[in-house]
């Protein structure tokens, strides 16, 4: 009589879930969309917490009798350039808006932190993918249509952010204009696409986009970039990736992270370039002069520009150092 002996099939490495240590960061949540959402929200909370706490810290040591750029400040000059709390000559006339903005950011960070904790500890590990409100947020890294929808949502949010600045300039008090040394409302933003997009090709000056020297063009540029971002967002939500894009791009979590870091690096370099050469968006009365004589003088402009360049360089290195897997 022959007895069949059951064969024991050893487990392969691919069948065993890979274990990550805490130092792997969000890589632990690559296939746990719910927990990754929690980490995403908590990260946003940390950013907002820093903004609020740093604003209040700068306000606590701010001396109105000294120029802002001599006091090691980077957030208060930004608020002042938006026309908040300042008057003629860039003099600070009211510090209460700075306090209110700092507190609002702290409260917002608490809400975001609570959301991050909820999704990290209580919510589902994996977001459902179904036709419901919560199912809308579920995704799979290889779902190309869903990934471009997420891109579209982010583009719309960026466009609304650009238009928020337009609203501040046109309707909500105006911006600080260093050419008249006062806060003014922009009543006639430049909407001519020929002039706005000519900055991209250096037709308005050798500094390219940083050559902008009037608020009308600056605000008009935000009108256009907001329109382009929102239109692009709607396009990405309503359409599927073209065949060439599906073939050419990597559709993995690591690839999306690399693309995002590359975009951040680009924006950081551009921001540093603007801070270095442009005195309209970064007025000298708040950030210090472009050319500073003496090696012992370090203005807010110098700190801001250098930090942008250094951090962007790190992001760029990480971008090209990422190993994609198809």
pLDDT band at 14 (very low <50, low <70, confident <90, very high): very low
d(CA 93, CA 88): 9
Among 321, 326, 273, smallest CA distance to 301 is for 273
Place of tokens 């589902």: 124
Mean pLDDT of 141-166: 94
Residue 297's pLDDT is what? 63
Residue 294's pLDDT is what? 54
CB 55 within 8 A of CB 75: yes
CB 93 within 8 A of CB 176: no
Residue 292's pLDDT is what? 64
Residue 103 has pLDDT above 90, yes or no: yes
Residue 219 has pLDDT above 80, yes or no: yes
Mean pLDDT of 84-91: 94
Residue 11 has pLDDT above 50, yes or no: no
pTM equals 0.86
For the ranges 48-57, 154-163, 243-252, which has the lowest average pLDDT? 243-252
Percent pLDDT > 90 in the chain is 65
Helix (H) or strand (E) holding 219: helix 215-238
pLDDT band at 221 (very low <50, low <70, confident <90, very high): very high
Residue 3 has pLDDT above 90, yes or no: no
């Amino acid at each position: 009589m022959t007895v069949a002996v059951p064969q024991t099939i050893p487990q392969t490495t691919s069948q065993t879930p890979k274990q990550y240590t805490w130092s792997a960061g969000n890589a632990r949540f690559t296939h746990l969309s719910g927990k990754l959402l929690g980490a995403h929200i908590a990260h946003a909370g940390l950013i907002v917490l820093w903004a609020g706490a740093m604003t209040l810290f700068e306000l606590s040591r701010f001396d109105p009798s000294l120029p802002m750029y001599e006091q090691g400040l980077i957030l208060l000059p930004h608020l002042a350039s938006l026309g908040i709390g300042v008057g003629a000559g860039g003099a600070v006339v009211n510090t209460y808006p700075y306090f209110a903005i700092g507190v609002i950011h702290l409260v917002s960070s608490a809400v975001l932190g609570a959301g991050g904790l909820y999704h990290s500890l209580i919510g589902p590990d994996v977001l459902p993918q179904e036709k419901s409100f919560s199912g809308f947020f579920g995704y799979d890294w290889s779902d190309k249509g869903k990934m471009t929808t997420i891109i579209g949502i982010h583009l719309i949010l960026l466009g609304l952010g650009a238009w928020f600045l337009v609203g501040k300039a046109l309707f909500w008090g105006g911006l600080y204009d260093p050419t008249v040394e006062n806060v003014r409302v922009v009543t006639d933003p430049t909407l001519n696409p020929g002039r706005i997009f000519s900055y991209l090709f250096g037709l308005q000056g050798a500094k390219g986009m940083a050559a902008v020297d009037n608020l009308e063009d600056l605000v008009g540029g935000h009108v256009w970039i907001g329109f382009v971002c929102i239109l692009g967002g709607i396009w990405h939500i309503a359409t599927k990736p073209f065949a060439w894009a599906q073939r050419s791009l990597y559709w993995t979590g690591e690839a999306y992270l690399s693309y995002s870091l590359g975009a951040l690096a680009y924006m950081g370099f551009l921001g540093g370039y603007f801070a270095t050469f442009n005195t309209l968006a970064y007025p000298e009365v708040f950030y210090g002069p472009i050319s500073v004589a003496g090696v012992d003088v370090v203005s807010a402009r110098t700190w801001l520009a250098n930090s942008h360049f250094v951090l962007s360089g790190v992001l760029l290195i990480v971008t090209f150092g990422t190993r994609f897997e198809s």
